[in-house]
């Protein structure tokens, strides 16, 4: 074969390889000025509503589903909004009434009802446990594009690293370490202290909700969220950043910056659990009885027993991580 033919063959091969890579790149990360399939179809909204209908013990798999959904939404210029449900919620009605667009569900434990047979699109398994995403075909015209997108996403070279952040779940494998490192810097705290709080509050489950309506990874209440400018408590980044701002707020308003760091953290943790006013009152009571209001060991007996245990558990978990890393 002549040199000219060899060069032509190489040029064609290079062009084909480039076009394939560009196609995959644009499907997963379409640019703002490109007419995507979503734009051609025409969207009902710029917000994608999602629901993750898995039991509490699913742990970090909840965040795994949420983060993949968030990436799909971002690739199609949509914001993702989580629609919370309880375990006894008639979840299939959410799809039919358009209160959510996508449901992540274990198809083995919660099969699609016969009334929706042929009306829904079911993705390939997102995890090996039978967890899939389901959407109404007529209300989500992009369902086939989603299936294709998921296939390409799992073929991405960074997918294994992404998956390993969330799976398998354990106390020592937090998917949000990078976020915690970033938000801990303004506080000046070791990021692992925030991780210890997160584990105690939610076991790293981003859709956790307490009986007192505390929500998300750091279990913030709606009133606190409003004060800390948090719009979506279920979004991991907003929830964690809001909690860090609240820690700074507690430290500032309780005048703790002059204390040793350990005592500062003790009182912030106690106020996070029991409320700032309660802990401030406990400090005043301790002072009136001749105790040191700046020493948690002197103030702790006046605080609720649950709060005393909370501070101790968070510190023990944190120290366990510190010791194991040495």
Same domain, 285 and 241: yes
Residue showing tokens 């644009």: 26
Are 214 and 200 in contact by the 8 Å Cβ rule? The answer is no
Q: What per-residue confidence (pLDDT) applies to 6?
A: 60
Tokens of residue 316, six digits: 């023990």
Q: Is 89 part of any domain?
A: yes
Same domain? 131 vs 222: no
Look at residues 139, 166, 193 and tell me which one is the last residue of a structural domain. Answer: 166
Residues 86 and 25 in one domain: no
Q: Are residues 154 and 47 in the same domain?
A: yes
Domain containing 14 equals: 1-34
289 occurs within a structural domain = yes
Spatial CB neighbours of 273, under 8 Å, sequence gap ≥ 6: 306, 307, 310, 311
Percent of the chain with pLDDT over 70: 86
Are residues 182 and 314 both part of a single domain?
Answer: yes
Q: State residue 88's pLDDT score.
A: 77
Distance of CA 21 to the CA centre of its chain: 30
> Rounded CA gap, 74 and 69, in Å?
9
Q: Are residues 199 and 300 in the same domain?
A: yes
Q: Are residues 7 and 106 in the same domain?
A: no
pTM here is 0.84
Pairing verdict, β 131-136 and 102-106: antiparallel
Mean pLDDT of all residues in 46-54 = 95
Q: Say how far apart CA 28 and CA 294 lie, in whole Å.
A: 54
- Model confidence at 40, in pLDDT bands (50, 70, 90)? very low
Does residue 314 share a domain with residue 183? Answer: yes
Is residue 172 a part of any domain in this protein? no
pLDDT in tens, 94-152: 999 999 999 999 999 999 999 999 999 999 999 999 999 999 999 888 899 999 999 99
Beta partners for 215? 209, 220
């Amino acid at each position: 074969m002549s040199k000219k033919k060899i060069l032509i063959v190489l040029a064609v091969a290079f062009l084909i390889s480039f076009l394939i890579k560009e196609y995959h790149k644009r499907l997963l990360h379409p640019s703002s000025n490109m007419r995507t399939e979503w734009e051609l179809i025409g969207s009902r909204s710029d917000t994608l509503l999602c629901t993750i209908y898995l039991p509490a013990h699913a742990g970090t798999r909840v965040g795994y589903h949420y983060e993949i959904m968030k990436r799909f939404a971002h690739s199609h210029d949509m914001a993702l909004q989580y629609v919370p449900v309880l375990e006894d919620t008639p979840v299939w009605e959410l799809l039919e009434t358009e209160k959510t667009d996508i449901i992540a569900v274990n198809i083995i434990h919660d099969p699609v009802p016969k009334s929706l047979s042929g009306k829904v699109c079911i993705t390939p398994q997102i995890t090996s446990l039978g967890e899939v995403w389901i959407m109404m075909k007529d209300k989500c015209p992009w369902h086939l594009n989603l299936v294709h997108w998921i296939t390409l996403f799992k073929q991405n070279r960074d997918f294994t690293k992404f998956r390993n952040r969330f799976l398998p779940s354990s106390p020592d494998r937090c998917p949000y370490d990078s976020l915690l490192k970033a938000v801990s810097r303004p506080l000046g705290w070791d990021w692992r202290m925030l991780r210890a709080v997160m584990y105690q509050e939610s076991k790293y489950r981003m859709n956790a909700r307490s009986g007192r309506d505390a929500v998300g990874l750091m279990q913030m209440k709606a009133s606190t969220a409003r004060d800390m400018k948090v719009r979506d408590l279920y979004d991991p980044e907003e929830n964690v950043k809001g909690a860090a701002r609240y820690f700074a707020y507690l430290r500032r308003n309780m005048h703790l910056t002059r204390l040793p760091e350990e005592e500062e953290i003790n009182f912030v943790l106690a106020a996070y659990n029991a409320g700032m006013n309660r802990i401030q009152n406990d400090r005043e009571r301790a002072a009136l009885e001749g105790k040191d209001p700046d020493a948690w060991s002197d103030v702790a007996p006046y605080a609720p027993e649950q709060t005393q245990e909370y501070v101790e558990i968070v510190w023990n978990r944190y120290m366990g991580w510190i010791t194991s890393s040495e």
